[in-house]
Amino acid sequence: MTAADPARSSPRMPLVLASASPRRLALLQQIGVDPDTLLPADIDETPRRGETPRALAQRLARTKAEVARRAADRVEENVDGLVLAADTVVAVGRRILPKAETFEEAEACLQLLSGRGHRVYTAVCVSAPRDVIRQRLVETRVRFKRLSRAEIAAYLESGEWRGKAGGYAIQGLAAAFVVKLTGSYANVVGLPLHETANLLAGLKYPLLDAWRDPASIRP
């Protein structure tokens, strides 16, 4: 009889994802992390007066984590687990672009981003038991080509922009607009994977367990 592998014998730590974003869920699953529960945190995301894009992303991610933590702790199975939250902010200089919900908002975003660089900030926050909080902020620089009226009109008609920070989805049609990207691509999609994996591993989440069972990893 062989000795048990300590990495396999430890109980699985519950993980709550404080997001309804299918993109963030898919990114987590890409690295073998499948949250046990989805608990989207419905909060006011309005920037405060004078708030920088970096500060906004960090505040919203932490607030989402705190709100979801309180909800998660009402279920016994989640009390000893982790809560993962994130927020993505797109900015041109100090100007924060909205998560476009209307045609007009998306059009204004695309016109502003056309032919220039912008920055994408994603803050990742993990809440652990006993009020332990770990947070990271990741910045990616993106430059768009100069967009023609026809390109903007066609992209708006696609509807892909709806609900997206900055009015575009880099993992979709808008990839055709990107001239240069410096930093994490996953960060622009909505969750920087290297930093997220490090945060989870640092809080003893058994990240590598799924890697030992390839059948459990979703394509």
Catalytic residue among 5, 36, 80, 87: 87
* Contacts (Cβ under 8 Å, ≥6 apart) of 132: 203
Reply yes or no on whether 87 is catalytic: yes
CA distance 209 to 212: 6
Query: 176, 150 in Cβ contact below 8 A?
Result: no
Alpha-carbon distance of 101 to 89, in angstroms, equals 15
Segments of the chain assigned E as strands: 15-17, 37-38, 82-92, 95-96, 117-128, 132-144, 178-182
Name the token pair of 156: 């708006």
CB 187 within 8 A of CB 23: no
Instruction: At 154, list the tokens.
Output: 């066609």
Pairing of strands 178-182, 82-92: unpaired
Which residues are known to be catalytic? 87
